[in-house]
Amino acid sequence: MEIFKNILQLPPIWYSFAILSVLTLFGALGTIMSKNPVHSVIYLIVTFFSISAHYILLNAQFLAAVNIIVYAGAIMVLFLFVIMFLNMREEADEMKNNKIIGAAITTAVLMGGILVIFLRRSEREPLNTLTFNSQTGMVEVLGKSLYGEYLLPFELVSVLFLVAMAGAVMLAKREPGERHF
């Protein structure tokens, strides 16, 4: 009975966080449990949108917009094209193996246990409204952080992406006399 009283005393943002968390988990489970690859991609899009809603709750609107544009938009369209080009009927019989489902459930239980352990160990500090910075997740603060404190790692990642693009172009380059689809 005391647990229900504590739940009712939570701020309203905790309820939206709980609902979004359940939606994210069901979307992720639908992604890995779906037998139809197109349905799996749709579940993954639901997962990405609910994660973007989590970003909005954390006052990181820029990350939410980038997550929707890049992942839920561009990457999912790419996944759908790849699924349409592949013949998935032959590989569907191999995915019926119960060992894969057992490994997925075991991994999910282990990761959930680790998450619960770390959440119990974490210390919750009350929000101080006098020192709270409401601009934490905004683009200006993110840009100052990326081009100030984290300039070297940011530039190293950009060089890594450039090398990866050059490698992809070299791998996709046609040799004379070679036929593609």
Report angle CA 17, 20, 24 to the nearest 5 degrees. Answer: 135
Domain presence at residue 153:
no
> Worst-scoring range by mean pLDDT, 75-84, 89-98, 109-118, 120-129?
89-98
**Nearest one of 23, 32, 52, 40 to 76, comparing CA atoms:** 40
- 55: containing domain: 2-137
Domain presence at residue 109:
yes
**Domain containing residue 62: CATH number:** 1.20.120.1200
Give the per-residue pLDDT at 57.
87
Give the per-residue pLDDT at 40.
87
Give the per-residue pLDDT at 147.
86
Angle between helices 12-33 and 98-121 (to 10 degrees): 160
Domain presence at residue 161:
no
Computed over every residue of the chain, the mean pLDDT equals 79
Domain presence at residue 7:
yes
Number of domains in the chain: 1
| Residue 3 pLDDT class (50, 70, 90 cuts) | low
What contacts 38, CB < 8 A, 6 or more positions away?
A: 80, 83
| Residue 47 pLDDT class (50, 70, 90 cuts) | very high
Amino acid sitting at position 105:
I
Domain presence at residue 162:
no
pLDDT higher than 80, residue 116: yes
Domain presence at residue 157:
no
What span, in angstroms and rounded, lies between the C-alpha atoms of 11 and 163? 48
pLDDT higher than 90, residue 97: no
